[in-house]
Amino acid sequence: GAGAGAASTTPTHLVELMRWLADVVESVLALLKEKTKVGTYQRAFGYIANHMLYGTLLVKDEPSLNLKALQNVKAEVDFLSEKARENSRGQAASAFDEINQTLTVILNEAVVEYTTSTSVRAGKFPAVKPATLAALFEKLARFHAGRQEHELTQRYTRQKEAVLRVRR
């Protein structure tokens, strides 16, 4: 589980969002079948996960990102995944597979493993889209280029290029 300390490090807006979502589902949808409630959670968590990846991390208005930003988002994804498991009897947690696995490749420095092994891609990272992962590496490269950090810029550029060579 997330443990007692998770709430103190989790942004208040996410804690409140989860409280609100649970209240809505349990009060407004109280008389509906469990299957309908789970479906509501699945759609809600799917929307949140999609927005975090495509509406926040990959938004065009933000040309660069650093690792700290990705670590912060990963912590939020971990919190939300746990809430999705709790609120939907485990059925909605898969909504976070794409963003979770994509960030894991970057933060765990698993790009070589991801790019060189079809079985690893299929087993550990089946939800990762190479174009999405490459776009995040591009944003990391841009961040470091802006700081004149050539070694990191080159590293992330090489990783982006390796990911783009991956065929699904």
What pLDDT score was predicted for residue 6?
46
Contact status, residue 49 vs residue 96, Cβ threshold 8 Å: yes
Choose among 113, 161, 152, 153: nearest CA to 133.
Answer: 161
Q: What is the pLDDT of residue 168?
A: 53
Q: pTM, whole model, 2 decimals?
A: 0.86
Question: Of 138, 141, 136, 112, which Cα lies nearest the Cα of 124?
Answer: 112
Q: For the chain, which residues score pLDDT lower than 50?
A: 1-7
Helix orientation angle between 130-146 and 97-107, rounded to the nearest 10 degrees = 50
The per-residue pLDDT for 3 is: 42
Three-state DSSP class for 110?
coil
User: What pLDDT sits at residue 5?
Assistant: 44
End-to-end CA distance of the chain: 33
pLDDT at 130: 97
